[in-house]
Structure 1
């Protein structure tokens, strides 16, 4: 029987788990209502995610941190391999088939935990000075942010690529970069916007046209109807006609927030957003007090990941942002996104709970690794 030191459990972050439980249960309930078969598959993804969480919590993660660069560069190699051996679906080449087992993997999903951990590894090895990173260190860190962005954007998967680049620079903002660099970066971005637009694919330009046009696209129009029909308390399952009669597209994944509002109304949507807000704020608080840069970066990365995904997904659902393939975090149907989040949560909980076991090395010097 496995024994866990009670002193370790005393440093376990139960608040995060308490906030995650209603998200997981509510999403499973609603996905099952939308499509029972998908609901059953989603339960398998949840079980795999929970298994990954428990496994990573029990592993000696701090003794394995040296493997992070291997994990990162292996993920980058897979992203490069997509160009040569990848499989295309719906005009995008994003998947690699594993020989003999006919199982496909999506390297742009595998890179996400590796991306956050690599930034934690680099920042831990070279912490920022009091006034933040200067240009030389900023450029070095930017290389590890921009590289996967370019590879994923080429697939094309601009949604995931944009999320990663925002996440990466968001982590640097939390950790500390000199303010002059942010001013320069913002100026370059504004000046280069016309050039960036010319490099977009036709379907990406069409999404922008649909967004700024007078009439929204069919997907967004049906989503807005579902949101508006929910009222204050929502509708019974049988009366949620936008979803049950298949007017609302991709209701179990990209547009699941519209079904949340149609089914539970403004009150349910408010409670869901409040739950996300509590989780985001709690993770940011952990990042603010943590002295260990592994804990600081992973918790800040999780907080920003959830905020970016949630904001983009809800914004596109109600028609105030272009449609991109960004799921509602730990809520939309899909295994890769959920498992990735649980992997990062498992690592964060391990770093938090076991942090004092490794506080002093054999020489008596203070050390977090």
Structure 2
């Protein structure tokens, strides 16, 4: 039984929670404005996420690290199972339907916390030397990154697969890899770009064509109109015609940033981006100063996830990136993404708060490093 010591409050990272509260509150408010039914469902997702956060925070996670490889490989097996028993929606096979209870599971979402934890597990067991990982260790870690990337890209879900790829190699960059390896990877990527393009599906090529074309796609065009109409301080709900009259597509999820600007203008957009920037920088500082590789990898991974999701979503919304199904983190409507972030944040808070053995009831104050 875990001994909950009051001294964990001295180690708990309250700043992250304080920065998250306005994001969650504002997203719930705006989603309810766009679609009251979705707003009620989103409230359920938030409640589930908070429950998951509390449950995971109270678990003795450092004593359960032996389960991380099991979690990772079960997630990989579920990705493989999608190929054989997957449920097709909108032309993509990404879901597994659970028999009898009519519940669908999306393994590409489940893999994200398992992915970050597996990298933390491997790096903690084999920390990088002073000059960074060299080719052998880099190749070994890359296997655990590329495997889920291939399986998810095959569904096809290139957006999620690319996010995982960037996340994995971003974590290795934070931890330390020899600079010559990055030069080599960059050269290989540039040379292989024509081959990569040839392997894309027709709809993915069309998105790239729309992106580089003179005229943006309908989705992006309506999004830009909504953003431009917001002005400096935005509009009242009734005057936000792009969203209220359904011109702005997917306003509660992929293009919710456009509605933020339509409602609150440049000032609201600046405040939202500032909140994300403060959260990303704070998490990266935790990662940078951490001696414990579990904290370093998990905090750095969450920071990268926030940065990748936020950057791609906003760039897509304003026409600076191709349209992909990447949500605004912990803001867009959707339960899977929100709960996944809460899982990772709970694990990070647990690792930070219980980073000394005495908080588990052990003698002495030695760190788990």
Give the TM interval when normalised to the shorter protein: over 0.9
Any residues of structure 2 matched to 1:60-79 within 5 Å, and which? Answer: 60-79=60-79
Relative distance call for 1:13 and 1:363 in structure 2 (3 A) is: closer
Give the whole-Å Cα distance in 2 for the aligned partners of 1:305 and 1:185: 21
Give the whole-Å Cα distance in 1 for the aligned partners of 2:319 and 2:194: 23
Shift of 1:264: 0.4
Task: Name the residue aligned to 1:344.
Answer: 344
CA deviations over 1:130-177 (Å, ceiling 9, x no partner):
000000000000000000000000000000000000000000000000
Partner of 1:23, secondary structure, is helix
Q: Is the 8 A contact 2:223 2:248 kept in 1?
A: yes
Give the whole-Å Cα distance in 2 for the aligned partners of 1:210 and 1:278: 33
Relative distance call for 1:112 and 1:358 in structure 2 (3 A) is: farther
Shift of 1:61: 0.7
Partner of 2:368, secondary structure, is coil
Partner of 1:129, secondary structure, is coil
The reply to whether residue 48 of structure 1 matches residue 36 of structure 2 is no
Task: Name the residue aligned to 2:141.
Answer: 141
Shift of 1:4: 3.9
Shift of 1:358: 5.5
Structure 1 runs of 4+ off > 3 angstroms?
358-367
Task: Name the residue aligned to 1:273.
Answer: 273
Give the whole-Å Cα distance in 2 for the aligned partners of 1:367 and 1:74: 30
Unpaired runs of 5+ in structure 1? Answer: none
Q: Is the 8 A contact 2:227 2:262 kept in 1?
A: yes
Partner of 1:235, secondary structure, is coil
Relative distance call for 1:363 and 1:262 in structure 2 (3 A) is: closer
Task: Name the residue aligned to 1:250.
Answer: 250
Shift of 1:356: 1.3
Shift of 1:362: 7.5
Q: Is the 8 A contact 1:359 1:367 kept in 2?
A: no
Task: Name the residue aligned to 2:128.
Answer: 128
Unpaired runs of 5+ in structure 2? Answer: none
Relative distance call for 1:362 and 1:223 in structure 2 (3 A) is: closer
Give the whole-Å Cα distance in 2 for the aligned partners of 1:332 and 1:149: 23
Q: Is the 8 A contact 2:261 2:268 kept in 1?
A: yes
Shift of 1:301: 0.2
Give TM-score scaled by structure 2 length.
0.97
Shift of 1:360: 10
Task: Name the residue aligned to 1:331.
Answer: 331
Task: Name the residue aligned to 2:178.
Answer: 178
The reply to whether residue 309 of structure 1 matches residue 309 of structure 2 is yes
Count the aligned residue pairs. 368
Task: Name the residue aligned to 1:16.
Answer: 16
Partner of 2:357, secondary structure, is coil
Give the whole-Å Cα distance in 2 for the aligned partners of 1:26 and 1:312: 20
Any residues of structure 2 matched to 1:230-245 within 5 Å, and which? Answer: 230-245=230-245
Shift of 1:36: 0.1
Partner of 2:169, secondary structure, is helix
Give TM-score scaled by structure 1 length.
0.97
Any residues of structure 2 matched to 1:18-33 within 5 Å, and which? Answer: 18-33=18-33
Any residues of structure 2 matched to 1:202-213 within 5 Å, and which? Answer: 202-213=202-213
Shift of 1:7: 1.0
Give the whole-Å Cα distance in 2 for the aligned partners of 1:187 and 1:126: 27
Give the whole-Å Cα distance in 1 for the aligned partners of 2:364 and 2:239: 66
Shift of 1:357: 2.5
CA deviations over 1:85-133 (Å, ceiling 9, x no partner):
0011111000000010010000000000000000000000000000000
Partner of 1:300, secondary structure, is helix
Quote the RMSD (CA, aligned, Å).
Answer: 1.6
**More displaced, 218-227 or 354-363?**
354-363
Relative distance call for 1:227 and 1:233 in structure 2 (3 A) is: same
Partner of 1:216, secondary structure, is coil
Partner of 1:321, secondary structure, is coil
